[in-house]
């Protein structure tokens, strides 16, 4: 995928009220994300950018996006699985749009079969804008209210009232599930994600509407997880206070007026989606603070935070804790000969080796340009040495771009006589990895341990596993 794209006509205006519809914009290439993001904004959608398939699928589930724009720059192997997973996660009518400069139609044929809706060339962004504007107009409906496709649980024992309310809501693009009792509602809620519950306060069966609201809130569905709109024939201050105390977000008075019902329902749905988005963004920020964006591994900050806890645990319990540091050898040569994109791919491959070789309790991290770490709680020196050698062999067996890879590794195990804290332990590992590099690379060297009390320090205390 080229990094140079045509720009959009800055004179175009986005439709009013488009901020409530979210469009997922996915590409590892910044230029593609910017192009697709601008197109979405001009058409009235709020773009949510991400760079990996994992983030994309998580956001689809968290935010309830209306469409996805994906760049082929993510790679053919990832793209096929991603489209399949997106189609399974998205509502049936949500489009998956592909940005691709491939000229051959047959390159996209399989993707159409998996669920891609349309393909757009990066040199014609105006076509993407026009498609999105048309899509937006269809979804807004005659009054421009962006609640199309949201799902409502209607709890009403009167068939006549339920029919009237259901007709009002579905006419404006909402999907409505109707039940007649609180007991039925409690069965439905765990099975389906609802954007709003509308309930009458007087219901058939043992459970009243007020009891239903209280039960839903006690089950952990708070104001933002599931907003509740009550329908009541009473409008006195005492009853209003009781409704809000129990957890109702808003209410309408019977007989229900269509305009009032739609405005209140719309406001609650939009507020719910905004709250979900804020919470998702907060979670993503927290994740980004401890994640390496290129490889998806933890970063240096996370390693040192958890490493300090592992050291404290080993010191207090007398248990073991080991650390492996790994430098990718001659990555600079790969960057020079094949470009930085090739170097990035080598780093991702190395990260995959660490992840696949790690136990669930281990922590894999990228802590420098070419440096990785694997923290091994409850791992003895001998086992850590074997882990290091296994990693070395796995990396030596790879041939990306036809180039044999190699790695220099240092291994250390916590020694209470030498390691005051995790920083000291990491410093000893660095000394081992530097020795590995100076002795010819492609080898694993284990740092020294303190000798028993009264014993002299050996002249050559390092243990070595050389890669032959």
Residue 8 forms part of a structural domain: no
Q: What is the pLDDT, as a whole number, of residue 136?
A: 60
385 with 247, same domain: the answer is no
User: Quick check: 6 pLDDT over 60?
Assistant: no
Instruction: Give the model's pLDDT for residue 350.
Output: 95
Residue 46 has pLDDT above 80, yes or no: yes
What is the CB-side half-sphere exposure of residue 156 using CA atoms within 13 A? 23
Bridge-based pairing of strands 321-328 and 371-377 is antiparallel
Q: 257 and 164, same structural domain?
A: yes
pLDDT tens across 349-382, in order? 999 999 998 999 999 999 999 999 999 999 999 9
Could you report the per-residue pLDDT of 405-441, keeping only the tens digit for each? 999 999 999 999 999 999 999 999 999 999 998 998 9
- Given 110, 139, 168, which residue is the final one in a domain? 139
Q: Tally Cβ neighbours within 10 Å of residue 160.
A: 8
CATH of the domain at 449: 3.30.70.270
Cis peptide before 255 (omega within 30 of 0): yes
The pLDDT confidence band at residue 110, using thresholds 50, 70 and 90, is: confident
Same domain, 247 and 325: no
The whole-angstrom separation of Cα 134 and Cα 74 is 27
Q: Can you give the CATH number for the domain in which 39 is found?
A: 3.40.50.2300
Q: Specify the residue for token string 């901020």.
A: 19
Same domain membership, residue 172 and residue 88: no
pLDDT band, very low/low/confident/very high, at 284 (cuts 50, 70, 90): confident
Among 70-79, 223-232, 303-312, 456-465, the least confident range: 456-465
Which range is least confidently modeled, 166-170, 234-238, 253-257, 315-319? 234-238
Give phi and psi for 405, each to the nearest 5.
Answer: -95, 165
Q: Name the token pair of 443.
A: 């080898």
- Which of 104, 139, 174 delimits the end of a domain? 139
Note whether residue 289 is domain-resident.
no
Q: Which residues, 6 or more positions from 242, have their beta carbon under 8 angstroms from its beta carbon?
A: 210
Q: Is residue 396 part of a domain?
A: yes
The mean pLDDT of the chain is 84
Owning domain of residue 201: 151-276
If asked whether residues 25 and 118 sit together in one domain, one would say yes
Q: 208: which 2 tokens?
A: 């009243």
Query: Are 171 and 121 part of one and the same domain?
Result: no
Percentage with pLDDT > 90 across the chain:
48
pLDDT digits 0-9 by tens, 156-187:
999 999 999 999 998 887 889 999 999 999 99
CB 186 within 8 A of CB 215: yes
Shared domain for 254 and 309, answered yes or no, is: no
Q: Which of 80, 112, 139 is where one domain is finished?
A: 139
Extract the tokens encoding 202: 């007087």
Confidence of residue 17 (pLDDT cuts 50, 70, 90): very low
Residue 229 lies in a domain: yes
Residue 1 lies in a domain: no
In a domain, 292, yes or no: no
- 310 & 442 share domain: yes
d(CA 256, CA 239): 18
Q: How much is the pLDDT for 107?
A: 63
For residue 389, being part of any structural domain is answered with yes
Do 334 and 377 belong together in one domain?
Answer: yes
462 shares its domain with 332: yes
Looking at the fold, whether 328 and 352 belong to one and the same domain comes out as yes
Residue 335 to residue 265: CA distance in whole angstroms: 55
Q: Which two tokens stand for residue 397?
A: 């067996």
Other C-beta atoms closer than 10 Å to the C-beta of 124 total 12
Contact present, 122 and 5 (Cβ < 8 Å): yes
Strands 67-71 and 22-26 turn out to be parallel
Asked if residue 116 and residue 185 are part of one domain, the reply reads: no
Task: Identify whether 11 is part of a domain.
Answer: no
Other C-beta atoms lying within 10 Å of the C-beta of residue 351? 19
Tracing tokens 């990718």 back to the chain, one arrives at 328
pLDDT in the model for residue 143? 45
| Tokens 């290129």 found at | 294
* Tokens 């080796």 sit on residue: 353
User: SS3 sequence, the chain?
Assistant: CCCCCCCCCCCCCCCCCHHHCEEEEECCCHHHHHHHHHHHHHCCCEEEEECCHHHHHHHHHHHCCCEEEEEHHHCHHHHHHHHHHHHHHCCCCCCEEEECCCCCCHHHHHHHHHCCCEEECCCCHHHHHHHHHHHHHHHHCCCCCCCCCCEEEEECCCHHHHHHHHHHHHCCCCEEEEECEHHHHHHHHHHCCCCEEEEECCCECCCCHHHHHHHHHHCCCCCCCCCEEEEECCCCHHHHHHHHHHCCCEEEECCCCHHHHHHHHHHHHHHHHHHHHHHHHHHHHHHHCCECCCCCCECHHHHHHHHHHHHHHHHHHCCCEEEEEEEECCHHHHHHHHCHHHHHHHHHHHHHHHHHHCCCCCEEEECCCCEEEEEEECCCHHHHHHHHHHHHHHHHCCCHHHCCCCEEEEEEECCCCCCCCHHHHHHHHHHHHHHHHHCCCCEEEECCCCCCCCCCCCCCCCEEEECC
* Torsions phi, psi for 68 (to 5 deg): -130, 135
Cα–Cα separations (whole angstroms), residue 165 to 157, 255, 278, 312: 12, 10, 31, 61
What's the confidence (pLDDT) of residue 20? Answer: 57
Total count of domains within the chain: 3
Tell me how far apart the alpha carbons of residues 348 and 51 are, in angstroms, rounded to a whole number: 14
């Amino acid at each position: 995928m080229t990094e140079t794209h045509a720009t959009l006509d800055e004179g175009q205006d986005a439709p009013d009220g488009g901020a409530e519809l979210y469009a997922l914009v996915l590409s590892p290439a910044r230029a593609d994300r910017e192009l697709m993001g601008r197109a979405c904004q001009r058409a009235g959608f709020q773009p949510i950018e991400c760079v990996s398939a994992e983030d994309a699928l998580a956001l689809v589930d968290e935010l309830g996006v209306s469409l996805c724009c994906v760049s082929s720059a993510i790679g053919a192997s990832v793209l096929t699985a991603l489209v399949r997973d997106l189609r399974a996660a998205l509502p049936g009518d949500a489009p998956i749009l592909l940005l691709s400069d491939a000229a051959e139609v047959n390159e996209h044929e399989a993707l159409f079969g998996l669920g891609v809706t349309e393909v757009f060339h990066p040199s014609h962004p105006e076509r993407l804008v026009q498609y999105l504007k048309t899509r937006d107009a269809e979804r807004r409906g005659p009054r421009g209210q962006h609640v199309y496709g949201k799902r409502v649980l209607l709890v009403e024992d009167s068939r006549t009232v339920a029919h009237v309310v259901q007709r009002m809501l579905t006419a404006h693009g909402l999907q409505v599930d109707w039940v007649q009792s609180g007991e039925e509602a409690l069965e439905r809620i765990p099975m389906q994600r609802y954007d709003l519950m509308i309930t009458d306060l007087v219901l058939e069966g043992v459970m009243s509407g007020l009891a239903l609201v209280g039960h839903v809130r006690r089950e952990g569905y708070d104001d933002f997880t599931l907003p509740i709109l009550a329908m009541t024939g009473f409008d006195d201050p005492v009853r209003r206070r009781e409704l809000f105390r129990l957890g109702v977000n808003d209410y309408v008075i019977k007989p229900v007026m269509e305009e009032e019902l739609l405005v209140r329902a719309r406001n609650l749905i939009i507020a719910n989606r905004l709250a979900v988005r804020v919470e998702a963004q907060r979670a993503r920020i927290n994740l980004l603070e401890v994640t390496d964006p290129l490889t998806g591994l933890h970063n240096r900050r996370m390693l040192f935070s958890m490493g300090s806890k592992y050291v404290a645990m080993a010191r207090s319990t007398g248990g073991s804790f080991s650390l492996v540091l790994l430098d990718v050898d001659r990555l600079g040569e790969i960057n020079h000969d094949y470009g930085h994109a090739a170097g990035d791919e080598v780093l991702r491959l190395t990260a995959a080796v660490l992840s696949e070789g790690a136990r669930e309790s281990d922590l894999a991290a990228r802590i420098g340009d070419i440096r990785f770490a694997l923290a091994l709680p409850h791992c003895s020196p001998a086992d850590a040495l074997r882990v290091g050698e296994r990693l070395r062999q796995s990396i030596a067996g790879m041939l990306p771009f036809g180039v044999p890879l190699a790695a220099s590794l240092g291994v250390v195990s916590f020694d209470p006589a030498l390691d005051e804290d995790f920083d000291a332990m990491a410093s000893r590992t660095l000394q081992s990895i530097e020795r590995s590099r100076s002795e010819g690379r492609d080898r694993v060297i284990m740092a020294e341990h303190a000798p028993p009390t009264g014993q002299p320090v050996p002249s050559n205390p390092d243990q070595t596993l050389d890669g032959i």
